[in-house]
Amino acid sequence: MSDTQASGHHARDKAARLHRELEVVWRNPRGLRALTVVNHSTLGLRFMATGLVFFLVGGVLAMLIRTQLALPSQAFMTPEIYHQVTTMHGTVMMFLFAIPVLEGLAIYLIPKMLGTRDLLCPRLTAFGYWCYLFGGIILLSSMALEMAPDSGWFMYTPLSSGEYSPGKGSDFWLLGITFVEISALSAGVELTVSILRTRADGMALHRMPLFAWYILVMALMIVVGFPPLIFGSVLLELERAVGMPFFIVEQGGDPILWQHLFWLFGHPEVYIIFLPAAGIVSTLLPVFARRPIVGYGWAVAAVIITGFISFGLWVHHMFTVGIPHLAQAFFSAASMLVAVPTAIQVFVWLATLWLGRPRMSLPMLWILGFLVIFVCGGLTGVMLALVPFNWQVHDTHFVVAHMHYVLVGGMFFPLMAGFVYWLPLVSGRMPSERLGRWAFWLTFLGFNLTFLIMHWTGLLGMPRRVYTYDSAMGWDIYNLISSVGGFMMSAGIAMVLLDLALHWRFGRPAPPNPWEADTLEWGLSMPPAPYNFASLPTIKSRHPLWDNPALGDEMARGEHALADASHGRREILGGEVLTGRVRERIHLPTNSWWPLFAALVLAVVCISLLVRLYPLALGAFLVAVAMLLRWSWENGGHPAAAPLGDDEATSPPLHSRTRGGPARFTMCVSLMADGAFFLSLLFGWFYLWSVSPQWRLPAESPLDPILLIGAGIAFALGVLWLERRLRRLYAGDETRLSPAFYMIAALGGLHVLLLVALLWQADLAPTDNAHDAILLVSLAYLLGHGLLASLLMAMQGRRAALGYVSARLPMEPGVVALFWRYQLGIYAILAVSLGVLPRVIGGGA
Amino acid sequence: MLGLAGCSGDYSMLAPSGPAARDIAWIWWGMLGFFTLVFVVVVGLWLAAFRRREPRERSEGEVRRLSRRWIIGGGLLLPGVTILILLVFGVPVGQRMLTLPLPGGEEPQVIEVIGHQWWWEVRYPDTGDGEVITANQLVMPAGEPVDFHVSAGDVIHAFWIPRLGGKIDMLPGRVNRIRLQADEPGVFGGQCVEFCGTQHAHMKLYVEAMPPADFDTWLSARQAPTDVGEGEQHQAAREAFNEHCARCHRVAGVSQATVGPDLSDIGSRATLGAGVLAMEDGAIARWLVAHQRLKPGNLMPVHDHLDAETLEGLGSWLETLTP
């Protein structure tokens, strides 16, 4: 008897010591140093709190709009202010609220659901947050300065161009949004890699919680979908700032190119917003139906198919532009087809409810609201995909209503369901059921009052974005009803906030796993410790907590993997993509000032571009690059990350002792984003060439063939040499590694020099015609990549000399090699597209 | 601000007055009926799931069979069949608005419309009797197809007459085409529907369909040399026009500029300022005094330096410009 008591005592002591050790390694600093935090829970909450503030700003703007339109011929706002308000409402809700809040939710939840302690790139999380915050502040400051963008949230040229929007408004939009998008891209990259490579032992892809599938697809869509808009923004800002005429017809550009680039991003973006929200539904619904989801495979397939189809729909925003009718028919059918995977999901949910024992509760109420609104929005979406009907209602209030049904129904209602559902996890307290019901009904009824009637207003002919209307049009009563509904919805949202505020003080303490859920995050303490899990579980099914309700306690007692922090490192497990079997221990970087500093300097770049202090912008940009490189210096094989010991455990090994699993993945996914940017560039070139009405290809290509081929050969030699040297390194040969790397870097340098010569010799006139302008952008893109490739290689030379790269630490050069291969690939494609094809097809008029 | 007293046509696409708009209105009502049914069934099933109690434990195979029935029925068949029906009915309707050759080989009437910030330039191409240019009003023959060739002079606008059919964007540097037809003579509203800046809201087009014979009369009246009021009475106004207005506005036989709206037949138009004021006695003078209050931000400079007498004289002269 006393023996078992003693051993129980002993186990408790051991667990307490483990938690103390983990606490020391993982805890967030306080005071000023709280700015250095990289922990995913903290940053996820910061993302969501910041998003909430922006949401309130966007909401106030919406109320201003509804006030102006409540009665005919009102002079509440001047047209100039009204257009700033509508533009900012759309921009804030889309870019500063919807996407970042969902990213924040994913950043907060994904590691907890996957049974790990943090995301794979914690400093990138922090960097993304700061970019989001600073970009958002810069964008909002334009309103305080009364020079907010006013060309509508999709910024069609030429209205947003220098000629028709001479103020700073468009610049605020282009620069601020691009800055915010850095944050979306970093979240996209690291969520993808974390979901693929850091799941708990045994969590094969088919055992992954559905939420992670949705987030994986969303993250990949961000990676591929955002670069076209960044590219478009760069072009438009270049046009506005220095007069490179990408979108000016008379000089060989084309305003429709902007529309393509914008909607190439803009349509996937709708699904980037919808998918995580649908993921919330797929996570909550089985919990409240008290049975596993039926048709898991169907749901996963539907999500993946949605992701693919959503990149083939963008033209349905442009049916009235006058594109060829065959193309319209294709995009019309594709737009309708996306209803299929969506319908599959709706019926997966329905079947789960039907075959389960559903109970009604607050989160379910919000999901019910989601269903009603979203099905409506989906059905009007199918209507809009029909080209002739689209020609009638396009750009009327019918579309405004449809879009709010899809976005508010498809995103905001599930978000609220998730908010109520996960609130106890964050705070340890339950929200109020009664306040919650009031909030729901006010929001739900207010929403439908506003937007259901708005379909009708649109059918009666009211265009969108009119700042006033005349009483004779017969739209008065419908607009008044919409405005009343809008204010009712605001009252509902105020109740949500009230509930949030009160629950911290008066909420009933939450029991463990209050909703009887199946996913791992409910096995954590509430609120979770900064390290989430004291020990990392092994997963055998899709429902770990239903299979073993005691799993949470077991993990807390340190009975599972990686229950050791005496080494002082933040460690998680890396697994195989398909099976989730453990492959390596990954040591994560800790709290740092670099993300904040780098983002601050980028904010300086952004502001100095706004006020057109280009030397300062260039200087700050170089400082930012230097900071990012400095930040990377202490990673990988650097002793500050994980000093090389004499007898290290090799099963599983530390990741920096391998050929680079997770790091290679991160580089690959980053290069996917870069590749999407590159494809947008290529699209721009071929689009202008083939479609732009006044495009002129010069009779003689300005690119010197000798220099073009020479630069390619220099770089190809570098890649070949690097590959050979890598094979020898992996075979254990580390002799003369550093000089070899320096020589390879020198070949990269030669490549850059030849490119500079090519550019010099081409003697382009980029402000004169679109052809030269896009040629210059392409060459600058190659030049930037060539420079970075050479710089990274030279750093490898230095690191090899210092012993950070060696036969025992072979990780880094393989990662850099991926970048070199990429540069070689895009160089070849661009050389053919810019240099060879015009010669083959011929120039002239 | 005054109403559009002169413009009796409304903007409702559910009150169609032409074949294209009528087909689309029918498609709308059909879709509304069918989709309401789908909506009621889906939401009804969802609610019913909460009401019913699962009678017994089901075997794994049974669950799989049942769920597959749900998912294939609702997720594949329902949308699949709906899409097929929609495309079969919908695609031919779109054909109506394409400017394909007419069956009898006739040439349809062509009208060119050019969007400007924030007014409409309407041109009747030279048919041998001289080109006709007008602004903010579109007169067309009723009962026969008319091809509109549209483009823009500055930013992107969109051309839309809801009661006749769908819209098409007006792009700088390109010409888009759409075919519309009015069944009967009548007056309809037109409106710019691509956001084009400050006064996007006040870019309305007065559309009138006339019996073809009346249309021909209307057109040939404008092809004949206009009476520009040679009399003594308007001498001062004509001089003031030449000094202050002629750099932007065209009046056939007086000035040739095309920066602002053509004024050659302004006296005969129904509205002023692209739908801001009804044309009544003294309306033009009122516009000249107060146009920046009536249509804030419009691109016509303020003429504060002109005395009231000159403005009134200009107004009453311009009102006489009617063929």
Tell me the per-residue pLDDT of A541-600, one tens digit each, with 9 for 90 and over: 999 999 999 999 999 999 999 998 888 899 999 999 999 999 999 999 999 999 999 999
Tell me the per-residue pLDDT of B222-256, one tens digit each, with 9 for 90 and over: 888 766 666 778 888 889 999 999 999 999 888 88
Tell me the per-residue pLDDT of B55-88, one tens digit each, with 9 for 90 and over: 677 888 888 898 899 999 999 999 999 999 888 8
The mean pLDDT of chain B is: 89
Convert A285-316 to b/e letters by CB count within 10 Å (16 or more is b).
bbbbbebbbbbbebbbebbebbbebbbbbbbb
- What's the complex ipTM? 0.95
Range list of H helices, A692-805: 705-730, 737-762, 770-802
Cβ contacts below 8 Å, chain A against chain B, sum to 256
Closest CA of chain A from B23, distance in Å: 9
DSSP β-bridge partners for residue A538: A201
**Which residues in chain B are contacts of A302 at CB distance < 8 A?**
75
B54:A337 CB<8 A: no
**Which residues in chain A are contacts of B13 at CB distance < 8 A?**
392-393, 459-461
**pLDDT-above-90 percentage for chain B:** 67
Contact between A741 and A814 (Cβ < 8 Å): no
A155 vs A10, residue with greater confidence: A155
Q: Are strands B137-141 and B204-210 parallel, antiparallel or unpaired?
A: parallel
Query: Which uninterrupted H or E stretch holds A133?
Result: helix A122-144
Distance separating alpha carbons of residues A498 and A505, to the nearest angstrom: 11
Residue from A520, A426, A584, A524 nearest A19 by CA:
A524
Which DSSP state fits A509? B
> What confidence category does residue A198 fall into, taking pLDDT thresholds of 50, 70 and 90?
very high
Distance separating alpha carbons of residues A200 and A545, to the nearest angstrom: 14
Distance separating alpha carbons of residues B323 and A62, to the nearest angstrom: 49
A348:B79 CB<8 A: no
Tell me the per-residue pLDDT of A681-712, one tens digit each, with 9 for 90 and over: 999 999 999 999 899 888 888 999 999 999 99
A79:B20 CB<8 A: no
Amino acid found at A327: A
Closest CA of chain B from A630, distance in Å: 46
Distance separating alpha carbons of residues A278 and A215, to the nearest angstrom: 10
Residues found in chain B? 323
Contact between A365 and A437 (Cβ < 8 Å): yes
User: DSSP letter string over A303-340?
Assistant: HHHHHHHGGG-GGGG-TTS---HHHHHHHHHHHHHTHH
Distance separating alpha carbons of residues A459 and A462, to the nearest angstrom: 7
> What confidence category does residue B9 fall into, taking pLDDT thresholds of 50, 70 and 90?
very low
Distance separating alpha carbons of residues B303 and B260, to the nearest angstrom: 15
Distance separating alpha carbons of residues A39 and B197, to the nearest angstrom: 45
Q: Are strands B119-124 and B132-135 parallel, antiparallel or unpaired?
A: antiparallel
Convert A726-764 to b/e letters by CB count within 10 Å (16 or more is b).
beebeeeebeebbebbbbbbbbbbbbbebbbebbeebeb
**Three-state DSSP class for A357?**
coil
> What confidence category does residue B4 fall into, taking pLDDT thresholds of 50, 70 and 90?
very low
Range list of H helices, A549-660: 551-556, 594-610, 614-633
Q: Is the pLDDT of residue A403 over 80?
A: yes
> What is the dihedral angle through the alpha carbons of A175, A179, A182, A184, rounded to the nearest 10 degrees?
-100
Closest CA of chain A from B30, distance in Å: 11
Residue A81, chain B, CB below 8 Å: the answer is no
pLDDT of residue A261: 96
Residue A622, chain B, CB below 8 Å: the answer is no
Distance separating alpha carbons of residues A554 and A536, to the nearest angstrom: 10
Q: Is the pLDDT of residue A487 over 90?
A: yes
Q: For residue A428, what are the CA distances in angstroms to A48, A510, A526?
A: 18, 5, 5
Q: Are strands B250-251 and B255-256 parallel, antiparallel or unpaired?
A: antiparallel
**Which residues in chain B are contacts of A473 at CB distance < 8 A?**
4, 10-11
Q: Is the pLDDT of residue B5 over 50?
A: no
pLDDT of residue A845: 40
Q: For residue A675, what are the CA distances in angstroms to A244, A681, A819, B12?
A: 23, 10, 11, 47
Residues ≥6 apart with Cβ < 8 Å to A686: A833
The pair of three-digit structure tokens given for residue A147, joined into one six-digit string: 């020079």
User: DSSP letter string over A257-304?
Assistant: HHHHHHHHHHHHHHHHHHHHHHHHHHHHHHHHHTSPPS-HHHHHHHHH
CB atoms within 10 A of CB A516: 15
Q: Point out the residue among A322, A339, A461 whose CB comes nearest to the CB of B83.
A: A339
Tokens 């009231």 sit on residue = B308
The C-alpha angle with vertex A444 and arms to A439 and A446, in degrees rounded to 5, equals: 95
Distance separating alpha carbons of residues A533 and A117, to the nearest angstrom: 6
Q: Which of residues 736-795 of A touch B (CB under 8 A)?
A: none
Contact between A347 and B67 (Cβ < 8 Å): no
Distance separating alpha carbons of residues B91 and B78, to the nearest angstrom: 20
Query: Which uninterrupted H or E stretch holds B284?
Result: helix B283-294
Work out the average pLDDT over A228-241: 96
Q: Is the pLDDT of residue B51 over 70?
A: yes
Q: Compare all CA atoms of chain A with the CA of B6 and give the residue at the minimum distance.
A: A472
Please state the pTM of the whole predicted model.
0.95
Q: Is the pLDDT of residue A621 over 90?
A: yes
Tokens 């002793």 sit on residue = A639
Q: Point out the residue among B63, B75, B297 whose CB comes nearest to the CB of A347.
A: B75
Tell me the per-residue pLDDT of A141-185, one tens digit each, with 9 for 90 and over: 999 998 999 999 999 999 999 999 999 999 999 999 999 999 999
Judged on CB neighbours under 10 Å (0-12, 13-18, 19+), A344 is buried
- Integer-rounded Cα Rg, in Å, for chain B is 27
Mutation pick from B169, B170, B175, B202 vs chain A, by most beta carbons of A within 10 Å, is B169
Q: Is the pLDDT of residue B8 over 90?
A: no
Distance separating alpha carbons of residues A124 and A126, to the nearest angstrom: 5
**Three-state DSSP class for A553?**
helix
pLDDT of residue B232: 76
Q: Is the pLDDT of residue A648 over 80?
A: no
Amino acid found at A122: P
Residue from A276, A300, A207, A302 nearest A520 by CA:
A207
Give the CA diameter of chain B.
102
**Three-state DSSP class for A371?**
helix
Q: For residue A321, what are the CA distances in angstroms to A259, A318, A376, A394?
A: 10, 5, 27, 11
Query: Which uninterrupted H or E stretch holds A88?
Result: helix A79-91
Q: Which of residues 34-53 of B touch A (CB under 8 A)?
A: 35, 38-39, 42-43, 45-47, 49-50, 52-53
